Amino acid sequence: MLNLSKLHPIGIGTYQLDLENPEKTLQALLHSVSKGQNFMSTSLLYDSGKVVDFLAQFFQKVKREDIFLTCHLEPYIEKKEDIEKQLDEYLRKMKIDYVDSLQVHVSYASKIPLLETYEEINQLVQKGKVRFLSVSNATLEELKQLQEYFSIFSFEGVYNLECKYYENVGLLDFCKEKNIQFVCYQAIRRNNIAKMNYPFLAEMARKYDKTQNQILLNWIVKEKGVNVLIKTNTIQNINSNLEALDFAMEKEDLKILNDFQDERFNQIEIDWKNQGGVTIDKLASQFKIEEC
């Protein structure tokens, strides 16, 4: 099994993988692994299950024990039995016999109490189908409750330069205190942060001879201690992402990045029950560049 201390801080995101060019995408994924990336997260909802189907090809080309795989439980858990049924679908589609980490994608995905949901996931750990329990897109109070009863390996949530919700509410600090690895998605907001072309970010890119996205990835991983999930369909972009870790920034630049956030995100009231508002998993998708 993969040593947890060896997890690469830049994980392989699988949302919106290019399935129209499967051979090119597969080669890109294998290139990621050859460069040391060994953490992957996926969901049955991505492209209506086609991404998970595609990953069966990937796992035929790599050693299963060399990849740390996180899977999400999605919004059709109505009874306890649905949890193992959903896990078995992952295992069947990818032709593997275990996942490293299993997490509820967002709290409203389960119609049964969250604590009972995780009791069932813990039973799957006992069966050897799952190695670790993780949490995703939950409130700080929910994470605290789960952490009281279970050993939580990681928390997956939104975090980037503009949108620092989980830092503002103290969840990042809680994760550090309890040795829970925070894994962020939308670290570069699908290139929307770079499109904003903030003067301070553009100046840092010139100063360090890096792209703005490389500045952002370097800051999140090396300064904030946060792991990143980022999807890439090309070898060129994979190399560029990995090169984000090969330089150090000065303290005054780090302070600028630490202090900045877009207050528009802070004005949004999160819809935790999915009643028609902005849910936490959709938060970073607000305020796209074409709307600014």
Q: What is the pTM of this model?
A: 0.96
CB 72 within 8 A of CB 43: yes
Task: Provide the pLDDT for residue 290.
Answer: 58
Contact 235, 29 (CB under 8 A): no
**Cα–Cα distance measured from residue 162 to residue 144, given in angstroms and rounded to the nearest whole number:** 25
In the chain, which stretches have pLDDT less than 50?
A: 291-292
Give residues with Cβ within 8 angstroms of 163, minimum separation 6.
186, 189, 261, 262, 265, 283, 284
Question: What region, left, alpha or beta, does residue 16 occupy, with left being phi > 0 and alpha being psi -120 to 50 degrees?
Answer: left
DSSP bridge pairs for 26 = none
Amino acid at 191: N
CA pair distance 131, 81, nearest whole angstrom: 19
What is the DSSP annotation of 144-171?
A: HHHHHHS-EEEEEEE--SS--HHHHTTH
What amino acid occupies position 62?
A: V
User: Nearest 5°: CA angle at 213, between 27 and 139?
Assistant: 95
Torsion of CA 146, 166, 285, 117, to 10 degrees: 0
Tell me how far CA of residue 257 lies from CA of 48, 91, 95, 153, 186, in angstroms.
37, 40, 42, 27, 16
Closest Cα partner for 54 from 76, 24, 84?
Answer: 24
Domain count across the chain: 1
Q: What is the CATH number of the domain that holds 186?
A: 3.20.20.100
DSSP per residue over 176-229, as a string?
HHTTPEEEEE-SSGGGHHHHH--HHHHHHHHHHT--HHHHHHHIIIIIT--EEE
Domain housing 136 = 4-291
Q: 152-158 and 10-13 as β-strands: parallel, antiparallel, unpaired?
A: unpaired
Residue 292 pLDDT: 36
